[in-house]
Amino acid sequence: MHQGSLVRLVPIERRHFAKSLEWLKDTTVTEYLPVSETVDIHKEISSLEHLLKSDFARGFAVETLEGEHIGNGVLHHIDFRNKRAEFSGLLGETSFWGKGYAVEATALVLETAFEKLGLNKVYCRISVDNMRAQEFSKKMGFTQEGVLRQEVLKNEEFVDFGIYSLLAEEYFRLKGTLGSLASGKD
């Protein structure tokens, strides 16, 4: 378990699946995510099961200190040779948006990536239409590297995604500020 002042990260388990699937059905939560309008329960459960077994992914449930499951953070495609991974995060409980929970959860996942796994680079993909997530990633120290054109087919339209990254040297330089950001809003 990895804990901050607002949230703790615990390895994702089957007990977290129901809530995770519920969030994927909420269009407010998934508006900009690369998921289809109709959730394929079997496919999503298979993806979650993969997190439990994979040596190349780390899935975390984000819980309040009282134990309420409010989101997930995942390091995908962990490449130990090149020391990089893709990050995705979801704060599914919208009542926790804008209160520092996502900042702290993201900081804890980044701490795992850089300090425990020894990675050099963490990257994420964000819809070019998702201004809030773009600002959030910049606040967390990520830099936009470019745009993946027509990356995802969403609602019968292709959507461009920006690719953002944070290097280990940047993380360690920003580490003190990342922790203090949680007291602000995300």
Topology of 2-181 in CATH? Aminopeptidase (3.40.630)
Phi first, then psi, for residue 96 (nearest 5°) are -100, 0
Would you say 56 and 84 are in contact if contact means Cβ atoms under 8 Å apart?
no
pLDDT in tens, 45-78: 778 788 788 889 999 999 999 999 999 999 999 9
Strand partners, 158: 153
pLDDT in tens, 131-179: 999 999 999 999 999 999 999 998 889 999 999 999 999 999 998 777 5
The sign one gets for the Cα dihedral 98, 147, 79, 81 is negative
Report DSSP letters for 12-35, one per residue. Answer: --GGGHHHHHHHHT-HHHHTTSS-
